[in-house]
Structure formats: structure tokens, C-alpha cells
């Protein structure tokens, strides 16, 4: 491993590819926006949350964002459950000369909470005065909060999806290409049969049979989707491994007595990485779409997990509240477009034929 | 494969049969092959053998055997509930959510779908419960009836005018056949087989029009139990045998009701159209006249309710149930252009009918949930009050007891426990959950969290469950949510695998509720009661309670896993009670136990049905019958085609009518 990393970053060829990627402005900007969005989503609790960032109460400083809850009684309310920081902030603001203060996040709402206690549940149009910048859904939850946390869930899902499908797909594909012969033939036939099983259909059947314990569910869903998605990667890996296998450095390694694992993962793999890298963005966008469509159909993450598919479903059922479907649709289109821009540029940058352009 | 080769021939045959029927010679239309001279059919042979063998059940008698002391009664003194002057004719257009998987009204796949329009709403039974007068029945196929409590027998005289839709008379031959049919294993309906074996002990035939049904038990609703049955046409089911399911998959049997479904009116996957039976025998009969008024009843298949709503507002269908707050307040507000212009009327009708028992069904066999204090804590921690007030916009009301909506309150002063985090925490503390964990969920001395999974299989509850979840946290209780696919969810609950289920069982319109299915210990455990020799027995009265039952009985509606010997004793006494006073007394005691033990957290009920319809759909005075569960159920509406044309013209010209937002609260509590 220590040799693999320097080669990736210092190799003049790789550097050239990165320069080329950066020179494609549209992609570079997309890449920066996406990276920023991903980084921000990691610290989403500090930006979109019903818990305050900092509370100074009776001489003590609290940082409630992460960690255990603080009850209402700790802040002078009469209840034992978690304090409502917005109500606390309002109360403190109304106290004329108190030293207490509360700093709330930019969007002071949680993706799960009912933001209008005491009022009917119905979609509410966007307002800036109350901080519901994209309105609320049909049970008074803030849409922006659900979008942000839904984005994070989609990212977790797609990264994990990427890792697992590539792990299985690359390993099997490389083995097929490296060994060839009857092993290749046999596994190819198995993959053909396997990949002919209608994916979405099976996911729906399996997802409906598996009891949905929360927390586990993301992983079970991931497992099912990965189980039926690893096959496509094997074709590419098989063919590039075939090509690399015939090269002299592989023969040299064989002559030196290197084992199969070492040859595949230490010698061949670094040389086919560029192929893998070009697929990554498209796999990510595929994973996001798959998760969204499953959620839309009601076979995805269990309620009340924030997800884009669930928002789209709500939106289509409440067309008189267009802000729901508009928010989810815009967010989905935006992210998928950005990912595709990045993907196209990576493909172009890694293309050995320098002057080919994709329009 | 066999199906493939025979299907076209059969279709051709049915087409021929319907074509002949359409020529106006209905009486002789060959509806089945059994009319051929080839001797008795397999079914007839089997029926004759069964009747000969089971002489205890099938009793063939003579008119001379009829007791002379009988007091024959009819329903001529009762008021009608339809408008006898309703305008006849026209086409009513409505929708169904799915294309039926069969046109059989019984057997696999028959429940739901088109069955309501072929049998439940349409079929004429011997007698039927009067929807405005609980406890009374009105005449259907029977013109008079007599009750004999000493022999637990109800006597019926068929109306000689009664005919099937193909013109043949309804006789006691059909009655005998219907019992044979419902008790036959060929039917592939174990529930009906069981019901017809356990509820009825004998059927006696006196002549072509007189018969008697003997019941296993007696009660104030004996006449309903014996008489609210729709017979099946013997002559049309001559081919009834072990293979009947496939043979009759797309055959429509003759009906006693006003509408029939003809083969040519089935548009596969798209629509079915019912047509009025020509010269329907009951069209001038009291209680039946003024109902089933349109000549054609078209049902388009529209799978998504939101789409169906759009079709309704456009005028493609004539009526739409707007019970959901979303439709009543948001999609079709009083200011909606079609409503404001008076083209579409909105009606809210307060009914009085047994309510589906929405609520949390707590599986009391699961750890923690077996403690009364935990269950009572759940009552105070589940905020159905908020759901009623804000999710249902104040339209829904709490179920105060499990059995609301019957003619009288099952318990005079029990009310649902209201949401109260403080009281909930007191109950949870009594069960050992005293400390609050870092996430706000209570834990007990051994570190167990107060966390339970609510399961449901109704996608419509997806938005309601998170509300309960958020509110429960206030009481230190964590709800995990599980929305399963329908089949999986139902199976899980029937196998008692769930912790808490949010569901409701629909209730048929009955005089008093059932407790046996939901609460008797023998429906929780196979070994709930042991006889002296150690055998498992079903009843408290037949054995002694097992202190440590272990064999869970699956596929029963006791989804709370209730096993309480005292309650079981009361249930058995209740089921055997013969007077309404006894029934009320036992019901009150049982409701008290159920309330005290808290197996079921009272949910909500909607005390009305709401309907949107175009102004040319018209209704009797008072809109509907007291026990109606939807506007359509009793077919009291009619279509005024002249008004339809006038409305269409008005929409083109912009002419407006008075806005109609109608509230009917004559049956409101």
C-alpha cells in the first residue's frame, strides 16, 4: 500500500490528468460545489438542527449539538423531555436584563420534528420569517432540513454502494480476466443469468419481506442493491485485465515468482485504476437514483428517515403544495447534473486520446 | 396448459349465451350445459348424496309438518329509507381501484374488488337489517318469517315473485343448494365452511317457498343470523365440483339483485359496467324501490386515489369520497371553482355504524408489554388526541371504548386515557423504567430501553406514525416504525410476531360486537385451557386455565395475545346470552376488564362519511341511511340526465348555481 499512494499523487501522468480535469471549468466548478456540499453535509447538525449551537444559561455554557439531551427542567421549563431550544431562545429574548443567551443554527429545525405544534398538519408554503426557506411537508416538517439530511443519507448510501460493488465487481472481474479459460466461461455464464433477474422487481420483493428494523435497514437495503448491481463492473475489469495480463511486466512478475494475488492487486490494479475512476461518478449518480426511486415507491428507508424519494412521493400526492415536489426535484436534478459533469470531465481527462472532446 | 385450450371455447360459449339472452328470451337462455338431457350433473348427484347422508342437517319435510303455532311477521309496518319517486335511468360513472382478479363472489381472490358490486351491495338476501332501525329487519327474498326460540329455528316464506336475473324463480331448491355450496370443501373457503357448520345446525324444506333454518345459538339478532344470507343460483352452478375455481373464474352468476354484469360489459383492465336487470322482480317492492336507480353503473379502473380525484373534478366520474382532510380542505376547498359555482356538491353525513377499531394492538406476550403498567403507560404516551385534532383536523374523534358506534354504549362511562407524559412516566416508573438515558429514552435497572416497534401494513399511515413517534419521546418512550407490505404485515400480526400493531379490523353492521375472536384466550394459545385428561380444549367452561401456556395459536384475530380467564368466562357467557339485557351486562363487564388491562390503545374513528358529487347526482331527503358506511352502499342516489346536460351547458356558458356544502347531522350523537 505505501507504494500505491505516492504513485497516484506523484506520477507525472496522473498530474497531467488532474491538470486536464481542472482545465475543464464546468467540471471543476461542479466538483468544487459537490465537495463543499459533501463537507457541509458532514457537519449538518451545526447548520440545520433544532438543537442550539451554544446556550449560556445561569452562568453555564452548553454545547447541545452532539451528545446527551438536556431536559426542559434544566432550563426552567416544567417538562422532563428534551428542551425546545427555539422556545428557550424566545423566552430568553423576552427577559429584559438576563445574561442568558442562545445561538441557534441557520435553519433551526430538525428533519423529524413537527414545527407547528398546536396547528393542523398540512403543507405550508416557504417563508423567510420563520426560517422555513423551502416550506414544510404535510406533517409540518421543514423541507430544507429533510433535503439536507436526505442528501447525507443518499451520500452514505452511494459511497457504501460504491465500495461494495467495486470490491466484488473488481475482484471477480480481475480474476476472470487473469485466469481466463473455463473459470472465465463459467463465471460469465453465472453473471449472465444473475444479471437477467429484473433488479427493481427483486428489490421490491425482498425489501417487502425483510422486517425493517431501523438503523439496520440502510444496510439491508444496501445489501440487496449491491447483490444485484456488482455484475456490470466485472465486464470492464475482465477485459482490461485480459489486456494487461499480456504485457511484459506481468510476465516479469510471474517469472520473479509473485503470487496471483500480488500480481493482480499490486501490479495490474494500479494500471487499470484510470478505468475504474472514470466509472465512479456514474455509479454514484446511479446509486442516488436507485435509492430515490425505491423510496418513492415506498420500498426504501423506513419512515421517518429523511429521503428525497419520500419527499417526491409526498409532492406528487400533494400537487396543491408545489414547493414539496419542486424542492425535491430541483435538488435531485442539480446533484445528478453536477455528478454527471464531473464524470464526463474525468472520462475526458483520463482519455489517452488527448484531442477527443465530449460535447 | 389445460386452461389455455379451454378458455377460448368457454368464452365463445358465454358470448353465445349472452347473445341469446339479449334476444329477449331470457327464460329459456341456456346459461349452463346442465340443462342438456344428459341426466343429473355431477353436482346434482353429489348434492343428492349429501342430503341423503346428512339427514340431521338437511331435512326434507312436507307443508303438513309446519308448526301451526307460528307467528308470521313481515316488515310492512317499518318506514322505507329510499325515495320511491327517485328518477330512473341514466348512467352513473364511478371508479374501482383495481381490475378484479375474478368475477366469482366467493373462493380465492374474490374478496374485495368487484364483489361488493356483484354481491355485497347488490344481492337481495332473505331479510336484511334495517339501516335506520338497528334490531329490525326488512323483507328481501322472504315475504314473511317466524321465530321459534324454543327450537332455535327461524321460518321463512320466499316471495313467489322472486326471480334470478335470468328469469328463473328463486325456490327452496336454491336454498338447499346454497347450504351445500357453502359447506362444500370444493369451495376452497375454510372460513365459510366453518361458519356454515358452526352457526347452523339444520335446514328444513317444507315446500317450494317455505323453509326453516335452525341455529346453533340464539340471540336478539337470530333473524339476521338466519336470514341475512344471499342464496346462490343452483341451475347456474351445475358444474360446481373440485375444479370450479378455474371454471368460474370469469363467469358471472345470475343474481337476485338489481344489477348484472354481462360479459360484453367487461373491458379487461379498464372498466366494468353493471346494467340494470330487465324487469327486476323487486323494483316495486317496499324497501327496494327507489334504489339502484341508474340503468348503467360504469366503474372505471383508476388505481391511484389522487388520479381518481382529478378525474372527478374534470367530470369523468360523477362522485368521489372526500373523507380525507387532504381532499375536503386542500384539494376541494369550498372556494374551489367547481364547488363555488355549484357544479360539485360537498356533503358530510354523520352516520352511526360500528367503527373500525383503529388503535394500537399491544402484543401482551412480548417482554415488557406483558406488564399492565407498561401498557397503561403506552395509553398515556400515545398522542392520538393530537392525531384527531390536528392530523384529522378535528374531524376524527377518539374511540372511547373498543366498541363505539353500536346502538348503545358498551360501557356507560369508560373514556379513553388522554395523552399525558407525566402520567405515562408514572406508569413506566412503576414498571421499573425510572432513569432517562442520554437520548431521552427511559431505561430500567437492567439497562433495557423502553423501546417498541409499531408495525402496520397501510401505506396511508406513513405520515401518521412519525407524529406518534415524536410525541412518545416526551414520555421517554421510543417507538420504532415499520411499514410493511400488506401480505407480510398481516402475516406477521396473525402469527403474533409483532410488538405493537397499528391496524383496524373492519366491522360488519351488527347489533352488538364480537369479543371471542379478538380476546378469548383460546385464540391466543392452543393450550390455554386443559381438560382433566390434559387435552387442549377451546373453552373456559370445558377445562381449567393453563398457568403457563406455550403454544401460540396463529391465524386468529387475538393479536393482543390476551389470555384472561375471567374475561374468557364473560365472553362465553356473552356469546350464549339470549336477551339484550344480558348481553349489555356482560359487555359492560368485558369493556371494563379491557380498559383496566389496556391491551388496546384507543385510536380514532371518523363519525361520518364525506362525499363530493356532481349536482346531477341526487339523493333522498336526509341523504343516506344511518348505518351507511359510504354514500354508495345502499344505492339511494339517482342520476338526472337532464340536469347533467344543463350542468354541461352551464359550464360552457359560465352560468352558476347555488353552492352546495351540505351537512347532515340527524344521526350525530
pLDDT, mean of residues B510-523: 90
Cβ of A114 under 8 Å from any chain B Cβ?
Answer: yes
Contacts of B521 (CB under 8 A, 6+ apart): B528, B529, B540, B545, B549, B558, B562, B563, B564, B565, B567, B568
Mean pLDDT of B301-328: 91
Report the DSSP pairing between strands B58-60 and A101-103. unpaired
Contact B374, B427 (CB under 8 A): yes
The pLDDT of A295-318, averaged and rounded, is 85
With 0-12 CB in 10 A as exposed, 13-18 as middle and 19+ as buried, what is B169?
middle
> B358 with B504: CB under 8 angstroms?
yes
Task: Quote the Cα angle for B484-B488-B493, to 5°.
Answer: 90
Of the candidates A315, A308, A290, A310, which has an alpha carbon nearest to the alpha carbon of residue A298?
A: A310
Residue B112 has what pLDDT? 66
CB pair distance less than 8 Å for A302 and B466: no
> How does pLDDT run across B259-281, given as a tens digit for each residue?
999 989 999 989 999 999 999 99
Q: How many helices (H) and strands (E) does chain A have?
A: 15, 3
Scored b (16 or more CB within 10 A) or e, A77-93 reads eeebbbbbbbebbebbe
**What is d(CA A129, CA A145) in angstroms, rounded to the nearest whole number?**
16
Interchain CB contact of B470 with A (< 8 Å): yes
Residue B65 has pLDDT above 80, yes or no: yes
Give the pairing type, strands B608-614 and B435-436. unpaired
User: Alpha-carbon torsion A18, A24, A25, A26, what sign?
Assistant: negative
pLDDT at site B3: 36
- Partner A contacted by B377 (CB < 8 A): no
Does B326 contact A at CB distance below 8 Å? yes
Average pLDDT value over all residues in chain A: 85
| Distance (Å, whole) CA B307 – CA B299 | 15
Residue with cell 372556494: B335
A73 has a chain B CB within 8 A of its CB: no
Q: Could you read off the pLDDT of B374-387 as tens digits, one per residue?
A: 999 999 999 999 99
Tell me the sheet residues that pair with A107.
Answer: A48
B421 touches chain A (CB under 8 A): yes
- Is-contact A63 A53, C-beta < 8 A? yes
Between residues 247 and 286 of chain A, which touch chain B (CB distance below 8 Å)? Answer: none
B572, B574, B578, B583 alpha-carbon torsion, rounded to 10°: 170
Residue pair A134/A328 in contact (Cβ under 8 Å)? The answer is no
Per-residue pLDDT band for B463 (boundaries 50, 70, 90) equals confident
Minimal CA separation from A117 to chain B, in Å: 9
Cα–Cα distances in Å, from B500 out to A66, B367, B387? 31, 12, 18
Partner residue opposite B480 with nearest CB, options A67, A80, A213: A213
Whether the pLDDT of residue B29 is over 50: the answer is no
Phi, psi dihedrals of residue A115, rounded to the nearest 5°? -80, -10
SS3 (DSSP) at B146: strand
pLDDT > 90 fraction of chain B, expressed in percent and rounded: 74
Task: State residue A215's pLDDT score.
Answer: 43
Contact list in A for residue B438 (CB cut-off 8 A) is: 67-69
Cell output for B402:
373498543
CA distance B190 to chain A (A): 26
- Band the pLDDT of A324: cuts 50, 70, 90: very high
Cβ neighbours of B450 in A, within 8 Å: none
Which residue from B393, B425, B470 is facing A113, i.e. has the nearest CB? B470
Name the A residues in 132-171 with CB < 8 Å from any B CB.
138-139, 141
Nearest CA-CA distance, residue B468 and chain A, Å: 11
Give per-residue pLDDT as tens, B320-329: 999 888 899 9
DSSP label at A304?
T
User: Could you tell me if A78 lies within 8 Å of chain B, comparing CB atoms?
Assistant: no
Here the cell at position B547 is: 398457568
Per the CB < 8 A criterion, the answer to whether B352 and B669 are in contact is: yes
Beta bridge partners of A212: none
Residue A298 to residue B474, Cβ atoms within 8 A: no
User: B388, B420, B385, B414: which is closest to B401 by C-alpha?
Assistant: B414
Interface test with B, best of A83, A120, A218, A306 (most B CBs within 10 A): A120
Residue B333 backbone dihedrals phi, psi, to 5 degrees: -70, 165
Q: What is the model's pLDDT at position B31?
A: 41
Closest by CA position to B277, among listed B265, B268, B267: B265
C-alpha–C-alpha distance, residues B652 and B641, integer Å: 17
**Min Cα separation B304/chain A (Å):** 10
- Is the Cβ–Cβ distance between B643 and B616 less than 8 Å? yes
Confirm or reject contact between B612 and chain A (CB < 8 A): no
Contact A209/B at CB under 8 A? yes
Nearest Cβ partner for A303 among B390, B440, B462:
B462
Spatial distance between the Cα atoms of A208 and A197, rounded to a whole number of angstroms: 17
pLDDT of residue B26 exceeding 60, the answer is no
A39 at interface of B, judged by CB pairs closer than 8 A: no
Residue A121 and residue B467: Cβ atoms within 8 Å? yes
Q: With a cut of 80, say whether residue B116 has pLDDT above it.
A: yes
- Give chain B positions within 8 Å (CB) of A119: 390
Q: Do A302 and B481 touch (CB under 8 A)?
A: yes
Residue B469: which of A80, A304, A320 has the nearest Cβ? Answer: A304
- Considering only CB atoms, which chain A residues are within 8 Å of B475? 81
CA distance B204 to chain A (A): 49
The pLDDT value given to residue B28: 37
Query: CA nearest B434 in A: which residue?
Result: A80
Cβ contact, residue pair B390, A120, below 8 Å: yes
Task: Kindly determine whether residue B391 and residue A122, on different chains, have CB atoms separated by under 8 Å.
Answer: no
Asked whether A157 and A168 are in contact (CB, 8 A), the reply is no
List CB contacts (< 8 A) between A80 and chain B. 421-422, 425, 436, 476
Distance of CA B398 to the CA centre of its chain: 22
Distance from CA of A291 to the nearest CA of B (A): 17
**Residue of B331, B440, B488 with shortest CB distance to A208:** B488
ipTM value of the model? 0.83
Q: Is B371 on the interface with A (CB under 8 A)?
A: no
8 Å CB contact of B483 and A302: yes
Contacts of B473 in chain A (CB under 8 A): 81-82
Least confident of A150-164, B404-418, B568-582, B647-661: B404-418
Q: Which residue of chain B comes nearest to A305, CA vs CA?
A: B466
Confidence check: pLDDT of B314 > 90: yes
Cβ of B72 under 8 Å from any chain A Cβ? no
Secondary structure (3-state) at B545: strand
CA–CA distance, B58 with B64 (Å, rounded to integer): 17
Cα–Cα distance for residue pair A146/B330, rounded to 1 Å: 23
Q: Give yes or no for a contact between B407 and B511, defined as CB atoms under 8 angstroms apart.
A: yes
Question: What is the separation, in whole angstroms, between the first and last Cα of chain A?
Answer: 37
Q: Are B418 and B385 in contact (CB under 8 A)?
A: yes
**Chain B partners within 8 Å of A211 (Cβ):** 482, 484, 492
Calculate the CA dihedral of residues A71, A75, A79, A82 and round it to 10 degrees.
Answer: -30
Tell me which of A74, A295, A304 to substitute to probe the interface with B (most B C-beta atoms closer than 10 Å): A304
For A80, name the nearest residue in chain B, comparing CA atoms only.
B474
Judge whether residue B485 has pLDDT over 90: no
Query: Most distant CA pair in chain B: distance in Å?
Result: 84
Across the interface, do A68 and B480 touch by the CB < 8 Å criterion? no
Give the integer Cα–Cα distance in Å for A350 and A20.
9
Mean pLDDT, residues B240-245: 92
- List, for residues B79-93, the tens digit of each pLDDT value: 999 999 999 999 999
Q: Is A125 on the interface with B (CB under 8 A)?
A: no
Instruction: Give A65's contacts in chain B (Cβ within 8 Å).
Output: none
Handedness of CA B526, B531, B535, B538 (dihedral sign): negative
Please check the confidence at residue A133 and state whether its pLDDT lies above 80.
Answer: yes
- How close A129 comes to chain B (CA, Å)? 23
Q: Decide: A68 and B438 in contact? Cβ < 8 Å.
A: yes
Flag if A120 and B306 touch (Cβ within 8 Å): no
Q: Is the pLDDT of residue A20 over 60?
A: yes
**pLDDT recorded at residue A334:** 94
A317 in B contact zone (CB under 8 Å): yes
A316 to chain B: nearest residue by CA? Answer: B306
Residue B167 confidence (pLDDT) above 80: yes
Residue B596 neighbours by CB distance under 10 Å: 11
Amino acid at each position: 500500500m505505501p507504494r500505491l499512494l505516492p504513485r497516484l499523487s506523484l506520477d507525472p501522468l496522473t498530474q497531467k490528468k488532474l491538470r486536464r480535469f481542472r482545465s475543464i471549468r464546468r467540471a471543476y466548478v461542479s466538483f468544487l460545489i459537490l465537495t463543499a456540499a459533501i463537507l457541509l453535509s458532514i457537519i449538518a447538525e451545526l447548520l440545520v438542527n433544532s438543537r442550539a449551537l451554544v446556550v449560556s444559561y445561569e452562568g453555564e455554557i452548553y454545547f447541545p449539538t452532539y451528545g446527551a439531551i438536556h431536559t426542559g427542567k434544566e432550563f426552567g421549563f416544567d417538562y422532563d423531555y428534551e428542551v425546545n431550544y427555539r422556545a428557550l431562545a424566545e423566552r430568553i429574548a423576552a427577559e429584559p436584563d438576563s445574561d442568558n443567551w442562545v445561538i441557534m443554527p441557520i435553519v433551526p429545525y430538525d428533519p423529524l420534528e413537527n414545527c407547528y405544534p398546536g396547528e393542523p398538519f398540512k403543507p405550508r408554503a416557504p417563508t423567510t420569517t420563520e426560517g422555513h426557506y423551502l416550506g414544510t411537508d404535510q406533517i409540518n416538517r421543514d423541507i430544507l432540513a429533510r433535503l439536507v439530511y436526505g442528501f447525507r443519507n443518499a451520500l452514505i448510501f452511494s459511497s457504501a454502494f460504491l465500495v461494495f460493488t467495486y470490491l466484488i465487481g473488481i475482484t471477480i472481474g480481475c480474476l476472470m480476466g487473469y485466469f481466463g479459460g473455463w473459470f472465465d466461461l463459467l463465471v460469465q455464464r453465472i453473471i449472465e443469468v444473475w444479471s437477467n433477474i429484473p433488479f427493481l422487481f427483486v428489490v421490491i420483493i425482498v425489501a417487502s419481506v425483510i422486517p425493517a428494523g431501523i438503523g439496520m435497514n440502510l444496510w439491508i437495503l444496501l445489501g440487496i442493491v449491491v447483490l444485484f448491481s456488482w455484475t456490470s463492473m466485472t465486464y470492464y475489469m475482465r477485459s482490461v485485465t485480459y489486456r494487461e495480463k499480456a504485457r511484459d511486466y506481468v510476465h516479469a512478475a510471474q517469472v520473479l515468482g509473485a503470487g496471483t494475488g500480488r500480481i493482480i492487486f499490486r501490479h495490474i490494479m494500479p494500471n487499470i485504476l484510470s478505468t475504474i475512476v472514470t466509472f465512479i461518478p456514474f455509479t454514484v449518480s446511479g446509486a442516488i437514483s436507485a435509492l430515490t426511486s425505491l423510496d418513492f415507491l415506498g420500498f426504501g428507508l423506513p419512515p421517518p428517515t429523511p429521503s428525497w424519494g419520500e419527499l417526491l412521493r409526498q409532492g406528487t400526492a400533494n400537487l396543491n403544495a408545489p414547493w414539496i415536489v419542486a424542492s425535491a426535484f430541483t435538488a435531485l436534478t442539480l446533484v445528478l447534473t453536477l455528478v454527471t459533469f464531473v464524470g464526463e470531465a474525468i472520462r475526458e481527462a483520463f482519455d489517452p486520446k488527448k484531442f477527443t472532446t465530449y460535447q | 396448459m389445460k386452461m389455455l385450450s379451454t378458455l377460448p371455447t368457454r368464452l365463445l360459449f358465454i358470448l353465445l349465451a349472452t347473445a341469446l339472452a339479449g334476444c329477449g328470451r331470457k327464460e329459456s337462455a341456456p346459461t349452463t350445459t346442465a340443462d342438456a338431457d344428459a341426466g343429473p350433473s355431477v353436482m346434482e348427484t353429489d348434492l343428492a348424496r349429501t342430503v341423503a347422508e346428512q339427514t340431521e342437517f338437511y331435512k326434507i319435510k312436507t307443508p303438513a309438518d309446519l308448526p301451526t303455532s307460528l307467528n308470521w311477521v313481515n316488515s310492512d309496518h317499518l318506514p322505507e329509507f329510499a325515495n320511491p319517486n327517485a328518477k330512473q335511468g341514466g348512467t352513473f360513472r364511478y371508479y374501482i381501484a383495481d381490475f378484479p382478479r375474478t368475477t366469482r363472489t366467493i373462493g380465492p381472490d374474490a374478496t374485495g374488488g368487484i364483489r361488493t358490486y356483484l354481491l355485497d351491495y347488490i344481492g337481495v338476501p332473505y331479510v336484511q337489517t334495517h339501516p335506520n332501525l338497528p334490531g329490525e329487519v326488512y323483507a328481501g327474498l322472504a315475504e314473511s318469517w317466524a321465530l321459534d326460540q324454543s327450537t332455535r329455528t327461524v321460518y321463512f316464506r320466499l316471495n313467489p315473485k322472486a326471480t334470478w336475473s335470468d328469469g328463473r324463480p328463486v325456490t327452496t331448491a336454491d336454498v338447499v343448494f346454497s347450504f351445500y355450496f357453502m359447506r362444500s370443501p370444493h369451495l376452497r373457503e375454510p372460513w365459510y365452511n366453518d361458519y356454515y357448520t358452526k352457526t347452523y345446525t339444520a335446514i328444513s324444506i317444507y315446500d317450494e317457498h317455505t323453509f326453516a333454518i335452525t341455529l346453533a345459538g340464539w340471540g336478539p339478532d337470530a333473524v339476521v343470523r338466519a336470514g341475512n344470507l344471499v342464496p346462490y343460483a343452483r341451475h347456474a352452478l351445475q358444474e360446481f365440483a373440485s375444479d370450479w375455481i378455474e371454471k368460474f373464474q370469469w363467469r358471472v352468476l345470475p343474481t337476485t339483485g338489481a344489477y348484472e354484469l354481462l360479459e360484453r360489459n367487461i373491458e379487461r383492465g379498464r372498466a366494468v359496467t353493471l346494467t340494470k336487470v330487465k324487469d327486476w322482480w323487486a323494483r316495486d317492492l317496499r324497501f327496494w324501490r327507489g334504489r339502484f336507480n341508474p340503468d348503467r353503473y360504469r366503474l372505471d379502473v383508476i388505481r391511484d386515489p389522487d388520479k381518481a380525484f382529478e378525474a372527478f373534478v374534470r367530470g369523468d366520474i360523477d362522485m368521489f369520497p372526500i373523507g380525507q382532510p387532504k381532499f375536503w380542505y386542500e384539494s376541494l376547498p369550498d372556494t374551489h371553482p367547481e364547488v363555488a359555482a355549484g357544479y360539485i356538491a360537498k356533503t358530510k353525513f354523520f352516520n352511526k355504524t360500528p367503527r373500525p377499531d383503529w388503535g394500537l394492538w399491544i402484543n401482551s406476550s412480548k417482554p415488557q408489554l406483558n406488564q399492565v403498567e407498561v401498557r397503561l403507560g403506552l395509553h398515556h404516551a400515545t398522542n392520538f388526541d393530537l392525531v384527531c385534532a390536528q392530523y384529522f383536523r378535528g374531524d376524527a374523534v377518539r374511540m372511547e371504548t373498543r366498541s363505539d358506534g353500536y346502538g348503545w354504549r358498551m360501557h356507560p362511562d369508560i373514556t379513553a386515557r388522554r395523552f399525558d407524559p407525566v402520567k405515562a412516566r408514572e406508569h413506566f416508573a412503576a414498571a421499573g423504567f425510572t432513569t432517562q438515558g442520554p437520548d431521552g429514552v427511559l431505561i430500567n435497572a437492567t439497562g433495557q430501553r423502553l423501546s417498541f416497534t409499531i408495525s402496520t401494513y397501510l401505506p396511508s399511515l406513513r405520515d401518521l406514525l412519525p407524529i406518534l413517534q415524536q410525541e412518545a419521546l416526551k414520555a421517554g418512550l421510543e417507538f420504532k416504525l415499520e411499514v410493511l407490505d400488506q401480505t407480510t404485515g398481516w402475516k406477521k400480526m396473525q402469527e403474533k410476531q409483532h410488538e405493537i400493531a397499528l391496524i383496524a379490523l373492519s366491522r360488519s353492521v351488527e347489533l352488538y360486537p364480537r369479543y371471542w375472536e379478538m380476546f378469548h384466550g383460546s385464540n391466543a394459545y392452543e393450550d390455554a385451557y386443559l381438560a382433566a385428561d390434559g387435552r387442549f380444549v377451546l373453552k373456559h367452561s370445558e377445562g381449567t386455565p393453563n398457568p403457563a401456556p406455550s403454544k401460540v395459536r396463529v391465524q386468529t384475530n387475538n393479536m393482543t395475545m390476551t389470555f384472561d380467564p375471567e374475561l374468557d368466562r364473560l365472553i362465553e357467557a356473552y356469546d350464549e346470552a339470549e336477551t339484550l339485557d344480558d348481553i349489555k351486562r356482560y359487555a359492560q363487564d368485558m369493556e371494563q376488564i379491557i380498559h383496566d388491562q389496556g391491551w388496546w390503545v384507543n385510536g380514532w374513528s371518523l363519525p361520518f362519511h364525506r362525499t363530493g358529487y356532481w349536482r346531477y347526482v341526487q339523493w333522498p331527503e336526509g341523504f343516506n341511511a344511518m348505518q351507511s358506511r359510504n354514500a354508495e352502499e345502499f344505492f339511494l342516489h339517482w342520476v338526472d340526465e337532464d340536469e347533467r346536460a344543463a350542468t354541461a351547458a352551464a359550464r360552457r356558458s359560465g352560468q352558476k348555481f347555488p353552492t352546495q356544502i351540505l351537512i347532515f347531522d340527524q344521526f350525530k350523537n
